[in-house]
Chains A and B, each alone.
Chain A
Amino acid sequence: MPRLFRNRMVLAGGVVLVLLAVVAVFAPWLAPHDPLGVNLADALLPPSAAYPLGTDPLGRDVLSRLIFGTRISLVIGCIAVGISVVVGMAVGALAGFYGGWVDAVLMRLVDTLLSIPTIFLLLAIIAMDPAEQLLQLGRLPLVGGLIAGLLRVVDPQIVILMAAIGLMSWMGVARLVRAEILSLKEREFVLAARVIGCSSWRLITRHLLPNAMAPVLVSATLGVGGAILLESLLSYLGLGVQPPTPSWGNILNEGRVALGVAWWLTLSPGVCILVTVLSFNLLGEGIREWLERQ
Chain B
Amino acid sequence: MWSAECGVRSTGLSFPIPHSPFRIRDIVMASYLIRRVLGFVPVLFLITVISFGIMHLAPGKPTDAAMSFNPKVSLEARQRLEKLYGLDRPLHVQYAQWLSRTARVDFGRSFLDDRPVTEKIVERLPITLTINVCSLLLILGIAIPLGVTAAVRPGRWFDRVSTVFVFIGYSTPSFWLALFCIALFGVTLRWLPISGVHSLDYEAFGSVHRWLDMGWHLILPVGIAAFGGLAGISRFMRSSMVEVLQQDYIRTARAKGLPERRVLFHHGLRNGLLPVITILGLSVPDLIGGAVIAETIFSIPGMGRLFYEAVMARDYPVVMALVTIGGVLTMLGNFFADVAYAYADPRIRVGAAESR
Contacts and interface: CB of A to CB of B under 8 A. Distances in A.
Interface stretch (A51-59, A107-115, A186-194, A203-211): A107-115
A277 B231 CA distance: 14
Interface string A121-134: 10111011110110
A236 interface: yes
Interface of B: 42-43, 46-47, 50, 54, 57-59, 167-168, 170-173, 175-177, 179-180, 182-183, 187-188, 282, 285-286, 288-289, 292-293, 296, 307-308, 311-312, 314, 319, 322-323, 326-327, 330-331, 334
Interface in A113-157: 113-121, 123-125, 127-130, 132-133
A128 B307 CA distance: 14
Nearest to A127: B311
A229 interface: yes
A281 B170 contact: yes
Given A114-B282, A117-B326, A281-B170, 15 more contacts: A114-B330, A115-B331, A116-B323, A117-B330, A119-B289, A120-B323, A123-B292, A233-B175, A236-B176, A259-B179, A270-B176, A274-B168, A274-B171, A278-B171, A281-B171
Nearest to B51: A116
B326 A225 contact: no
- Nearest 9 CB-CB pairings of A with B: A270-B176, A112-B46, A278-B171, A115-B330, A277-B171, A117-B285, A119-B289, A127-B311, A260-B187
A237 interface: yes
B47 A115 contact: yes
Contacts of B187: 259-260
Contact of B173 (A111, A123, A232, A263): A232
Given A120-B288, A127-B314, A128-B58, A266 B180 contact: yes
Interface string A236-268: 110000000000000010011001100100110
Contacts of B312: 127
Contacts of A90: none
Interface of A: 108-109, 111-121, 123-125, 127-130, 132-133, 225, 229, 232-233, 236-237, 252, 255-256, 259-260, 263, 266-267, 269-270, 273-274, 277-278, 281-282, 285
Contact of B183 (A129, A130, A233, A266): A266
